[in-house]
Structure formats: structure tokens, C-alpha cells
Structure 1
Amino acid sequence: MNQHCNTGDHAAPCATPSDSPGPDDWCKQWVSTVTDYAVIGLSPEGIIRTWNIGGERIHGFSAHEVIGQRFDIFHTQEDRDKASAAASLDIARKTGRCESEGWRIRKDGSRFWANVVITVLTDDTGRVLGFGKIVRDMTDKKNAHDAVVESEGRFRMLVNGVTDYAVFMLSPDGIITNWNAGARRIKGYSAEEIIGSHFSRFYTPEDVAAGLPQRGLSIAASEGRFEAEGWRVRKDGRRFWAHVVIDAIRHEDGSLAGFAKITRDITERMEANRALEEARKALFQSQKMEAVGKLTGGVAHDFNNVLQILRGNLELLDNRHFGDAWTRERLGKAIAAVDRGSKLAAQLLAFGRQQPLQPVVINLASALRGMDDLLRRALDETIEVETVVAGGLWNTLVDIHQLENVILNLAINARDAMPHGGKLTMELSNAMLGDDYVAVVPDVAAGQYVMLAVTDTGTGMTQDVLERAFDPFFTTKPDGKGTGLGLSMAYGFVKQSGGHIRIYSEVGHGTTVKLYLPRSSRPAVEPPPRVVPAPKGGTETILVVEDDRNVQSVAVETLSDFGYHVLKADDAEQALAVLRSGIHVDLVFSDVVMPGPIRSTDMAALAVVLLPHLKVLFTSGYTQNAVVHGGRLDPGVELLSKPYSREQLAHKVRQLLDGRDSMRSESSRSAAPADSAVPLRILLVDDDVNLAQAMNELISLLGHSSKFTTSPSQALDWLQDEPFDVLITDLSMPDIDGMEVAKRATAGSPSMFVVFSSGHEMPVLPSLPFRWAALRKPFTIDELGAVLSDL
């Protein structure tokens, strides 16, 4: 049986036991003490009839302020406009109860989030007596809830907004439960296509077969995290290189809730790292080759000087003992050995990119066809040779003689790789090296090239041999079968020519060497035939400038054997002193690399200014870029590379001298002493050693004997021990000046003739007690001869 408690004008039902206090007291006490809830009694029309302390705390109104008011005074204006208060009462009438949440208004106008329960109150007949309304302030929980919702929303927005990473969740069994935009972009699946699938579908078949997906989940479950890189598969079947992280997600009790999986496509980075590593290896190889090239170039320089001494002396001996068959045979073998050493040095210089090239614009098709006979003689009959030339072949700028050596070396390597016969194919075609290719290959420019490919069907190379193929002295041939310089020479020649070289090889399938030479847009020329005439000599005057005394001696003797008048100088300074002395010189034969403050090239330039008719021939075993720039001889420069034969020297000298129109002047011819001239004994004193040596050579050419020194004191000592007819002395010297030397010298030898030499104007000299003359430096050999002829 329902009881009714009267609270105000209407009663609120209170179920009480029979032994409880009176219902009015019990209900009033309960309602009045509840502070966390507003307990409100409403009339059937929604008028407030009862009010408790909880209502005053939550809404801010006292009982006398609200009793008699409609309860929608607590609703916001928006709710009033929608008549939400009346709608709540209608629901309570129909269902007995209405529960809702929403914003409510306090007395001060502030809002709070309320949980509202309205219960209909009826009598025994079902007549509505009113409503009981309970309101609870849920603002704090609402704010906390909203914060969580906002945080989750932002997180979802963040995850869905990430396009560089695939971020998705997995169940403990690996089933995909959600999917972000990055996952769709990277893997190609939409969320509808993929949610509910197992994540192993992204793995390659071989990784699935190896159990890699499940192993990743197991490690993440046991260790909390799994990280790896590997190939993954997109929807369209294409593979990409992925960086994968799988994190285990657990409930508060520690049980496994699933996994968070993050995948990033790092294919570009992986390719970039691979390209960088290849570039690093290529750069290291290039630097290694550059360092070895410099070393071999220096070795070749010294080696060529030694060979020049050997060859020159052997040829001098051969020329003198040509009638002795036994001696001639052994000299021939020794000269042949020097030739082999010369080729070895030339290969070293080729590898070091320091050989002087003389390139011409040619079409390689005719050059290659011209080598057919040579190649067939070098190869076995069991090797078939085929030449393939593409149509419209471009021209290239190259030293054809050096290229022929490269082709011959490649052919011989191919022959050795095909001991039982095979096929050698030489192919010429146009080629383009693009930016993508040259990006990972140092020292190669993108552009148009003429490609020469030499392919054999031989044994091929292993990878480790292929990586060292260009290293000098590296060879897989037996001892005595090769120096290991063939490919090294090809490498250096192609690089020095501005090109590129590449080897492709596989064991059992042969080898292909591709040479890329830069295209030239200029018309091709026919290279001149290589004709070596019989050596001829002459009577011209040649100045040999060489710092190596042994090499100098051989050159002087060789040229003298050919009938030339030969002067010598140890360096550029001495050479200039000779040239400035006035003696006629037809040709300067000078080493390129010599010690001293003046370079040989600068000496040659000054020499041509002093003597416009002069010809200059350089020689060297190592140019060091003195007369070679960009791998090519400077315009107008003539070079005879060491070691050279006596025939090569004679031919080159005659070639240069025959190209000169003017002949030796009569004055220079008359400078030589007549047969009837009386040779003089001359003492020469000059503090400049180079000038003293040069003047000593001039005196010797005039047919006189001389002795020179740079020390006036030593000259005076010599005068005490031996007689001299003439004293030639510089006027200005640091210890004792020339005038004092002359006075002391003539005091003991009154008949001595004195010649003063000076680079300045001769001073006005007083009357002297001895015969004397003066020469202004630089003086010619004719002027010196004229002074001495007066004696």
C-alpha cells in the first residue's frame, strides 16, 4: 500500500514500515538533509511546490524565491523556446519516468550541466498528483568527459591527418581494427577494404612463409616493442622498403589489448643511402687511383732517366762496335730490354694520366677497321674477330696511336681469357650518359659519347677480381705472362681523354670493356702516316739542358756523333747565360723538369725572345703539367719522351731544324777559330757560377783552353802555380774587385792581357801599367773572339 508524505501543498510518496516514525517527520528529515541533490516537488502543471537545501545549493535560489514558479525557470532560453520542460513532463506521464541531461541556469545566471530525473506521482486510481524531480550537478564530470572526448577527437584527427606514416591498430591475433589516411596512401587500401583482415597480407610471400609477421607480434608481446626494416607489398603488388614499429597495448590489469603498428615508406631513403654508398666506394676508388697514379708517375720519371742513360750508352757502343757480331748481338738484347722497360714506363704514365697526348678529331670506324690485320696477327686462329659499327657514328677527339695501344691490350687480355678459342667482338656506337648515371660515378660528365665495346666469350671475372681490375700490377695471369698494366693503362688513357670506362663480367660468360670517349662536333681528319726515315745529322749548334749528368753526357755524345756542335747546361739559369752570351745556338734540347728558380718552360720562352730563330725541343720522362695541360701538349710545343732512341732523337732534331728557313749567319761561322789560330791559356774569374760556366763553353768553342773560378783569391793562387796568357775578370766582386785582381796578376806576369767584363757601363779607367780591353755584358762570341784575336 502506497503512503503519501505531504511536503508543502502536495504529497510525495514515501514507503515506510509500520514501526517507523511518522511519515511527515521522516520524509521532511530526508529531504531537508540531502545537499548533493535538488529534490523538488512539482504540481501536475509543473509548478514548484517543494524545495530542499540541495536545490538551494545547486540552483542558488531559496525556497520562497522559487515555490510557485514554473520549473522551466531553470532551463536555458534555447530549451524554453523548444518547450523542453513540458516535453519532459509528457514523457514522465506516459512512461512514469523521464531522465535527461543538459544545461541549466543558476540564480546568478551561470550554467551547470545537470542530470535530471522526473518521476510521475499518482494516487491509487492512477490520477496524476504531481511529479518528483531530482537534479544533480554533473558539471565536473561533464568537463572531464568533454576533455576526454576532445582529446580523443584531436588524437583521431592527428592520426588520420598523418600521411607519411601508416598508423593502425591490431587485435591480439593481428587483425586490423582501424586505419588512417597514411596507411591508405602508403599501402593503397581504403579502411573498408582492409579492416578485419590480417596484417600479414602486407608481407612478401617469402616473409609470410618464414613466419615473420607472427614473430613480430610475439616479440612485441613479450618485449613490449618490435622494430625492423624489410620489403612490404602495396595493394597493386609493388614492393616498397618499410620501417616498421609494433608496440604492445595493454589493459590496466596488464592483459594484452592489441598492438599499435606504425609503418613508414623509406624506399627513397634506402635508395639514396645505397647510391651514397656506391658513390662513396667510387670516390674511394677514384682517390686511390689518383694517389697510385701520382706515385707511378714519379717512378716513371726516374725510371725513364735511367733507361735513357742505358739506351744512349748502348747505342753509342753499338755504333762503335757494329763490326763485332758477338757484341752486337748482346747490345741488341740489352737495347730490346730497354725497349720493354720503356713500354712499362709508358704504361705507368698512361695509368697516372700523365702521358702527353696529341689528340686529333677522327671517326673511330676507319681507325678500328685499319687495325684488323694487326689484331688478327696478335690473336690465335681459334679466335673469331667481329667488328660492328653503328650507322651515323659521331667523331671524337682522341690520340689515335694511344687508343690503338689500348685496343691491342684489351684484345690480348681477351685472347688470354679464351685459351681454347672463342669470339672477340668490337662494337662502335653513339651513347648518351644521363644525369642519373653520372650522379653516382665521380669524374664523369653527362653528355654525348662515342662508345667502344670490346667483348670476349672467355672465362670472365669474379666480383673481387672485377673490383681490382684497374689496379696497376694486379693480374690473375701466371708469372711472366703479364704485368697487370693493360687495363690500368686503358683506365688512365680514357680518363685523361675526358672519357669513362666500365667493365661488365660474369664468371663463365665472358667480359665486356666499354670505353666512352667524348663526342666532337668538328670534322674528322686523317691521321698522318707514321714514317720513320733513316736518321740524318747536321752541323748546327745545339744546347743540351739537362740536370742529370749521365743523361746529359749521353745526349751530348749522341748529338756529337751526328755531327752537331753541342753546348751543355745543367739548368735553366746556365742555359740563359749561354744564350745571353751571344753565341749562336740553333736548337735548345731541354729536359722539362729541372731544379732551380727558373723553370725550363720560362727559359725557353725567354730564349725565343733573345734568339727569334731558335728552335726548342723538350724531353721528359714525366711532364708534371709543365708542357701538358688537360692531358694534351701545349700548342707549338715539341716533346720527345724518354727513353728515346738515337734514331728518334736524330729524326726529331732534324725535323725541327729543317723547318727553319734561315741559316747560320756568316758572323757566327767566323767566330770559330781558324786552323792557324794560336790557342790561348785563359783564366776566367766571375762570382756568377752560371755565367762563368757559360763563358767557359764559349772560350772552348773559340779553340782556347780555360780555367774558371768564382773566387778571386783562388784565381790569384792559381797564378802562382801555372802561367796564363789572358785574365778575364768581372769588375764587381764581393771579396776582391776585378781591378785589384788584375793589378796583382800583372804584377807577377807583366805580359798578361786583361779583359774586364761588366753588366754596367764601363767606368773611366786611369792609365794602367798593363794591356787591357773591356766587354759589356751580355757580349757575343764574336765580340769575345775579336778581343782575343788582337793578341
Structure 2
Amino acid sequence: MVGAREVYRRGSASDWVAEADVGGAGVAARLRVAPRPEVLARVRGHLPQVILVAGIAMALLLAFSVGLAQAAVRRADEARESEERYRRFFEADLAGAIVTDPEGHLLDANPAALRMFGLDSVASFADRRISSLYAQPEQRPELMAQFLAKGRADQIELDMRRADGRPLHVLANMVARRDAEGNILEFQWFLIDITDKRRVEVQLRQAQKMEAIGRLAGGVAHDFNNLLGVITGYGELLERDLSEDHPGRRRLREIRRAAESAAALTRQLLTFSRQQALETRVLDLNEIVPNAEKMLRRLIGEDIELVMTLAPDLGHVRADAGQIEQVIMNLAINARDAMPKGGKLMIETSNVDLDERYLATHPSVLKPGPYIMVAVSDTGHGMDADTIAHMFEPFFTTKEKGKGTGLGLATVYGIVQQSGGTVNVYSEAGHGTSFKVYLPRVDDEAAQIRAAEGEVLAPRGTETILLVEDSESLREMIREVLEASGYTVNEADTPEAAARTVSTKGAATSLLLTDVIMPGLSGPDLAARLAATNSRARVLYISGYTDEMIGSRGRGLDPGTNFLQKPFTFDALLRKVRDVLDAPS
């Protein structure tokens, strides 16, 4: 409050004085009014009027003083409210806010910034400079160049470090607070944590790169399958024509062995590109893993300890048993090669539930829900970040020349992806590696895994087969094999020629053996024409592509369709033909 007190002293005329004490809001003053002697001499006869005028003047002066004091109080309150408002905003802001002096010393930080950098309090910033937080100090000149050019820095991506050394990626804005002369008093930084966003972008680019490589690998494998089919097929025919003691048989066996190795590589490429045909069924991985133990012990050697930890209540998955065994074998071989001086190989199975929070930090095609996890871990030399970034690429290898094909982990990636799962890797140089495979859990009962049946002679037949294949060398070889097994073969090199054969000889055709993807009329379209002429005729599709890739081209095959993947052996072809012909209607 502002208060005033008037004091009048009477003595001689020269002692007439008016005084007032003014106080409040930290302001204290005494106001004093006294007439000059010459003025008193002139107005001595009009003293009452003088006193009245002096009183009015005093009242006006007091009112002005009170107004000044009240304005000062309002300004102080407004400044205090503005400071509190700014502090509340500063403290509650979800973005990190940091204040530094012109030399870069850290002065203040809000809770979001403290959390971002992994610090407990503003005192943790003591004696630090903003430059100490850069993971790449060369980024600072770029930021300052933009600030000097525009007077501020906007939307700059910076690579920084948390207090524990972990990487922190931020989107930064920076402005300056200046004094009246334009000198910089402090820099104000506003930071948004984009670490998870950057991680997702990197993983997305990796997935897109793997998808592109997979498409290329699938296309190359398809073309090679046709060529290998001709090589292996004619190799078989020649071997049958030669006597047991003919010197050419050994050379033919080497040709066939090389072709079979090449076919195995194309199968791995198809597996990586998720285009390999799978025979899926419900499996208990606690049966698959122990069944592979004997083979694993032979693979890894005696200087590596094998430890298996299997969950007693493990759920089931739907997958191809042979492919899952391949995944375990490839990961075990990778672990063995990482432990040249011995170590420990650990294989673990468990039930896991992946939630949205986990999947947000481990982007994949998976949805939240129950999964079966198979972990293959080792105590080897581990991998650095660059190796991890490329490890699933076909033909990428860190092994010395001549050792390994570079397709082991690529095959693992393809099998797991095609089985509806994902594989994550945790590794540090010098600290070992852990691969974790996640496959969707199903509630169905597991199928029994039966041992392979013994070899029997390939079956023969006398039916009429319409063969449609646009590769001339492969078509001629298949025709020769079928005719040698007793079948009558009508062949066509184009869908149009096959359509004409259907119209003239369709009624006598027992089986249509056709490629799926051909110029013009597709295999399924041709089968539909044959069905209109002969509804009893069976159909067997052959292709260097798989049913999944065929479906992506708009010519998908219905579930349960008879299909044979190229390249195939004569035995496989003849057995499949016989199975299709003998199947119940």
C-alpha cells in the first residue's frame, strides 16, 4: 500500500513548511514544499489562499507519486508472472531445451533434455560445453554457418552422445538472445530426439535393399534352373547309355555333381529371396533341435561346448522341418567359425510375447502376439556395426578367400522371413553374438516327423502327356525322359501351339505338363481350356519360379495345385507325374 502523511509547522512566516512521507512496494521518500521568502513577503496578506494552493499542489504531487509506485508494483508482478510462465513452459516442454553462453558453456536444461542425455540434474551439466555432446564434432561448423547466414539454425540433424556414450540423434533448432546493442547473451537450443526414427529408417532401408537383392537373386535363380535342368537331365541320359566300365561315366558323374552343387546354390538364392517352395506343417521345435544335436557336434568339433536349454512347455510353429534344421545348422556353423580357439555354443528355445513397445524398437512385419524364440549364441569374436549391417546379404562374407559361399546367413534370413518370422542379432566385437529367431506360435498339434523312405525304382506309364515348355532344350530333354518311361508325348513350344493341340488332341490327353509363366497364355489359362475339352485330364505345373513369385505376377496357383520346382531330377519328375495320374478324382 502507498501511504502519505502531511506535517505543518508554524513559526515565523519563513518557517511555513509542508512535508509528506510516501512509502510502499519498496519505495520510500519524503516530499517537502516550502515557500521562498520573497514570495512570502508579497503574499503575506493572502496567506489562506496560499495555503490552499499549496495544499492542492501537494495533493497532486502525492497522487502522481502513488501512481508511479503502483505502476512499479504492476511491472514487478508482470515480470514475476512472465518468469514463472516461461519456467513452467521450459520445465514441461516435451522437447529438450538447453541454454548455453556464447562460448558454449551449458547454463540450464529442462527435464526433457536431462532425460534425453541421461543426466539426473542441471548440476550434471556443470563444467560441460555443448561441443562435448557432439558425436561428430565436424557437424558444429555446419550448424554455426546456418546460424550466421540466417540468424538462427532450423531443423538441423545432429549426432550426439548420451552421458553413458550411447548414440543420440536429435533434430535441433537454435536461436540467440541479444542485448539492446545486439550482442549475444546466450544461445537457446530446442532438441527433438529422433534416435528411434533414425533406427527405423535404417532398418527400412536395409529391408528394401534386401528385398531388391532378393528379387534379383530370384530372377537369376529361375534362369539358372532352366539351364541346370538341361545339364543334369542330359547327364542322366548319357550315364544310362554308358556301360558301368565306360571311362566316360566318371566324367559324367563329375558334371552332374557340379550341376547339383550349382542347383543347391540356386535353391539358397531362392530361399533368401523367399521364393523357395516350403512343405509346412505344425512342428515342435523341442523335437527339431535335439534331432540336430548329433550333426551339430560333428560340425562344431570337440573344442566347442554345446549347451541346449529347451523350454519344457514350448508351443508349436508352422514351418518346414528341413528348412528349420537348415537355419540351426547355418547359425551353428557361423558360431563355430567365430570361435577358432574354442568356446561355448548355446541353443535355447522359449515362449515369448512380443508387444507393441518391443516391435516399435525392432521394426519388422511381425504383429504383437505369441511367438516361439530360438536363440543361437556363441562366445566368439563378435561383429562390428558394419558387419552387422551387411551380414544377411548374399555372398557377403568376412571369411578368407575360398572358405564359405557367403550364403549361410542369407539363407537363414530367407527361411525365417518366408516362415512368417524375423531374426534379430545382438553382437559386439570381442563379446560374442546371439541370433534370436522368432516364429509365430500356433495352437495346432505337432505332426510326427517320419524318416525318409528307402529308394525305389522310378515308376513308368503309358498315358498321353501334353508337354508345354518354351525352353527348347529343356522341352526336348523332358520329352525324351517321358518317352523312355513309356509315355506318349505331344509337345508345344508356345501357349498358342498348345491351344491348337488341346482343340485337336485334348480328349486323348491324360496329363497337361506345362510351365506356368509364358508369353501370352499362361499355364492356368491353358489348363482351363483343356478342362473344357477333357474334364478328366490332370495338370502338373513346372517352373523355375515358385508359387509365391508366380502369384505376385497375377497368375497365382490355388492351394493344393500340383507343382514341381525346377531343376528336378528324372526320378523326381517321373514320380510326380505318376502321383498326379494315380491320385483319386
Tell me the TM-score range normalised by the shorter chain.
0.7 to 0.9
In the superposition, relative to structure 1, how do residues 451 and 185 fare at CA in structure 2: closer, same or farther (>3 Å)?
closer
Matches within 5 A, 1:149-168: 150=74, 153-162=77-86, 163-165=88-90
Give the CA deviation at 1:637: 1.3
Matches within 5 A, 1:239-258: none
Pairing 1:331–2:252 present: yes
- Listed one character per residue, the Cα deviations across residues 730-787 of structure 1 (whole Å, up to 9, x for unaligned) are xxxxxxxxxxxxxxxxxxxxxxxxxxxxxxxxxxxxxxxxxxxxxxxxxxxxxxxxxx
1:452 partner SS = strand
Percent identity between the aligned chains? 34
- Quote the residue 2:476 is aligned against: 553
Letter in 2 for 1:658: D
Match of 1:507 among 429, 433, 446: 429
Match of 1:274 among 173, 195, 209: 195
- Quote the residue 1:290 is aligned against: 211
Match of 2:541 among 618, 631, 636: 618
Supply the distance in 2 between the matched residues of 1:156 and 1:187 (Cα, whole angstroms).
Answer: 25
Supply the distance in 2 between the matched residues of 1:464 and 1:150 (Cα, whole angstroms).
Answer: 63
Q: Is the contact between residue 176 and residue 185 of structure 2 (CA under 8 Å) also seen in structure 1?
A: yes
Give the CA deviation at 1:451: 0.8
Letter in 2 for 1:461: M
Q: Is the contact between residue 547 and residue 557 of structure 2 (CA under 8 Å) also seen in structure 1?
A: no
Supply the distance in 2 between the matched residues of 1:512 and 1:470 (Cα, whole angstroms).
Answer: 14
Give the CA deviation at 1:522: 2.0
- Quote the residue 2:377 is aligned against: 455
- Quote the residue 1:407 is aligned against: 328
- Listed one character per residue, the Cα deviations across residues 643-665 of structure 1 (whole Å, up to 9, x for unaligned) are 1111111221222223247xxxx
In the superposition, relative to structure 1, how do residues 470 and 101 fare at CA in structure 2: closer, same or farther (>3 Å)?
same
Match of 1:319 among 225, 229, 240: 240
Give the CA deviation at 1:143: 7.3
Supply the distance in 2 between the matched residues of 1:426 and 1:169 (Cα, whole angstroms).
Answer: 51
- Listed one character per residue, the Cα deviations across residues 44-93 of structure 1 (whole Å, up to 9, x for unaligned) are xxxxxxxxxxxxxxxxxxxxxxxxxxxxxxxxxxx9xxxx9xx8555667
In the superposition, relative to structure 1, how do residues 142 and 423 fare at CA in structure 2: closer, same or farther (>3 Å)?
same
- Quote the residue 1:678 is aligned against: none
- Quote the residue 1:771 is aligned against: none
Give the CA deviation at 1:151: 5.2
Give the CA deviation at 1:554: 0.7
Supply the distance in 2 between the matched residues of 1:436 and 1:638 (Cα, whole angstroms).
Answer: 43
Match of 2:220 among 288, 291, 299: 299
Supply the distance in 2 between the matched residues of 1:299 and 1:428 (Cα, whole angstroms).
Answer: 36
Which has the larger displacement, 133-142 or 425-434? 133-142
Letter in 2 for 1:471: E
Supply the distance in 2 between the matched residues of 1:403 and 1:384 (Cα, whole angstroms).
Answer: 22
- Quote the residue 2:122 is aligned against: 202
Tell me, which stretches of 5 or more residues in structure 1 are unaligned? Answer: 1-78, 103-114, 124-128, 189-199, 215-222, 234-238, 662-791
Match of 2:400 among 473, 478, 485: 478
In the superposition, relative to structure 1, how do residues 387 and 646 fare at CA in structure 2: closer, same or farther (>3 Å)?
same
Q: Is the contact between residue 542 and residue 565 of structure 1 (CA under 8 Å) also seen in structure 2?
A: yes
Letter in 1 for 2:122: F
Supply the distance in 1 between the matched residues of 2:169 and 2:71 (Cα, whole angstroms).
Answer: 39
Letter in 1 for 2:314: L
Q: Is the contact between residue 169 and residue 259 of structure 1 (CA under 8 Å) also seen in structure 2?
A: no
Q: Is the contact between residue 203 and residue 232 of structure 1 (CA under 8 Å) also seen in structure 2?
A: no
Supply the distance in 2 between the matched residues of 1:201 and 1:368 (Cα, whole angstroms).
Answer: 50
Pairing 1:589–2:513 present: yes
- Quote the residue 2:145 is aligned against: none
2:367 partner SS = coil
Matches within 5 A, 1:669-688: none
Matches within 5 A, 1:686-697: none
Letter in 1 for 2:572: Q
Q: Is the contact between residue 375 and residue 437 of structure 2 (CA under 8 Å) also seen in structure 1?
A: yes
- Quote the residue 1:649 is aligned against: 573
Letter in 1 for 2:366: V
Supply the distance in 2 between the matched residues of 1:310 and 1:184 (Cα, whole angstroms).
Answer: 70
Give the CA deviation at 1:626: 6.0
- Listed one character per residue, the Cα deviations across residues 379-417 of structure 1 (whole Å, up to 9, x for unaligned) are 323333232211211111111122222222222222222
Supply the distance in 2 between the matched residues of 1:231 and 1:307 (Cα, whole angstroms).
Answer: 54
Q: Is the contact between residue 363 and residue 393 of structure 1 (CA under 8 Å) also seen in structure 2?
A: yes
Which one has a larger percent helix, Structure 1 or Structure 2? 2
Give the CA deviation at 1:545: 1.2
In the superposition, relative to structure 1, how do residues 101 and 635 fare at CA in structure 2: closer, same or farther (>3 Å)?
same
Give the CA deviation at 1:456: 2.2
Q: Is the contact between residue 384 and residue 424 of structure 1 (CA under 8 Å) also seen in structure 2?
A: yes
Supply the distance in 2 between the matched residues of 1:168 and 1:656 (Cα, whole angstroms).
Answer: 74
Letter in 2 for 1:495: Q
Give the CA deviation at 1:478: 2.2
Q: Is the contact between residue 170 and residue 259 of structure 1 (CA under 8 Å) also seen in structure 2?
A: no
Letter in 2 for 1:641: Q
Give the CA deviation at 1:607: 2.8
In the superposition, relative to structure 1, how do residues 290 and 91 fare at CA in structure 2: closer, same or farther (>3 Å)?
farther
Match of 1:349 among 253, 266, 270: 270
Match of 2:309 among 385, 388, 405: 388
Letter in 1 for 2:267: A
Q: Is the contact between residue 545 and residue 552 of structure 1 (CA under 8 Å) also seen in structure 2?
A: yes
- Quote the residue 1:599 is aligned against: 522
Give the CA deviation at 1:498: 1.4
2:203 partner SS = helix
Supply the distance in 2 between the matched residues of 1:289 and 1:232 (Cα, whole angstroms).
Answer: 31
In the superposition, relative to structure 1, how do residues 244 and 493 fare at CA in structure 2: closer, same or farther (>3 Å)?
closer
Give the CA deviation at 1:260: 6.4
Q: CA RMSD in A?
A: 4.6
Q: Is the contact between residue 410 and residue 454 of structure 1 (CA under 8 Å) also seen in structure 2?
A: yes
Give the CA deviation at 1:146: 6.5
Matches within 5 A, 1:506-545: 506-531=428-453, 532-545=455-468
Supply the distance in 1 between the matched residues of 2:64 and 2:20 (Cα, whole angstroms).
Answer: 19
2:548 partner SS = coil
Give the CA deviation at 1:488: 0.8
Supply the distance in 1 between the matched residues of 2:488 and 2:78 (Cα, whole angstroms).
Answer: 100
In the superposition, relative to structure 1, how do residues 468 and 659 fare at CA in structure 2: closer, same or farther (>3 Å)?
same
Which has the larger displacement, 279-288 or 574-583? 574-583
- Quote the residue 1:49 is aligned against: none
Give the CA deviation at 1:154: 3.4
Give the CA deviation at 1:587: 1.7
Pairing 1:373–2:294 present: yes
Supply the distance in 2 between the matched residues of 1:98 and 1:368 (Cα, whole angstroms).
Answer: 104
Give the CA deviation at 1:528: 4.7
Give the CA deviation at 1:294: 0.7
Pairing 1:426–2:347 present: yes
2:476 partner SS = helix
Q: Is the contact between residue 422 and residue 437 of structure 2 (CA under 8 Å) also seen in structure 1?
A: yes
Supply the distance in 2 between the matched residues of 1:242 and 1:116 (Cα, whole angstroms).
Answer: 60
Supply the distance in 1 between the matched residues of 2:393 and 2:265 (Cα, whole angstroms).
Answer: 15
- Quote the residue 1:43 is aligned against: none
2:579 partner SS = helix
Supply the distance in 1 between the matched residues of 2:205 and 2:222 (Cα, whole angstroms).
Answer: 26
TM-score, reference length from structure 1? 0.58
Give the CA deviation at 1:628: 5.3
Supply the distance in 2 between the matched residues of 1:558 and 1:260 (Cα, whole angstroms).
Answer: 86
- Quote the residue 1:574 is aligned against: 497
Q: How many aligned positions are there? A: 522
Q: Is the contact between residue 5 and residue 22 of structure 2 (CA under 8 Å) also seen in structure 1?
A: no
Q: Is the contact between residue 545 and residue 570 of structure 1 (CA under 8 Å) also seen in structure 2?
A: yes
Supply the distance in 2 between the matched residues of 1:168 and 1:523 (Cα, whole angstroms).
Answer: 58
In the superposition, relative to structure 1, how do residues 583 and 430 fare at CA in structure 2: closer, same or farther (>3 Å)?
same
Give the CA deviation at 1:375: 2.4
Supply the distance in 2 between the matched residues of 1:201 and 1:93 (Cα, whole angstroms).
Answer: 67
